[in-house]
Amino acid sequence: MSAFNFDDRNISWQKLGDLEHLRFSILDVDEKNNIADVLFKFSANEQIVLHRHLAHNNTFVIQGEHRLYHPNGVIKEIRPVGSLTSSPPSNEPHREGGGDQDVIIAFSIRGSDGVLYELLDDDMNVVATISMQDLIGLYNANR
């Protein structure tokens, strides 16, 4: 079977504040059902900010290898291209990143009109949050 590369040149990637190694593109927001479909791109061999997922997330790895890390940076899980994962909300913090190439993941963030993610510092203090209203605002600003 042939391997194919995902061509993301026509995706309007956005930066989220000053967060490193992370780009996103919001595909759709269903405000009535509290669902946001977002593409995330994490840099190869890097880790994004420590965070918690406070809403249900379905993920599908489109390109590369999706790596999840414990807060101390030790690898926790590797999800290869084509992997579909359904993850309930969790208070367990982690980092994410790409393998040897940038990883592109489709996230379907579901079922919450409140805080979706908590961003943490290395001492596990919440330094920022991302809510459904934040995603709606970003989506509307970039349409």
pLDDT tens per residue across span 46-56:
999 999 999 99
Segment holding 132, helix H or strand E: helix 132-141
CB atoms within 10 A of CB 7: 8
**What domain range includes position 136?**
14-141
What percentage of the chain exceeds 90 in pLDDT? 91
Among the residues of the chain, which ranges form H helices?
132-141
Total count of domains within the chain: 1
Q: Residue 79 falls within a domain, yes or no?
A: yes
Report helix, strand or coil for 13: coil
Please state the pTM of the whole predicted model: 0.95
Q: Identify whether 6 is part of a domain.
A: no
pLDDT in tens, 73-98: 999 999 999 999 999 999 999 999 99
Tell me the CATH number at 85: 2.60.120.10
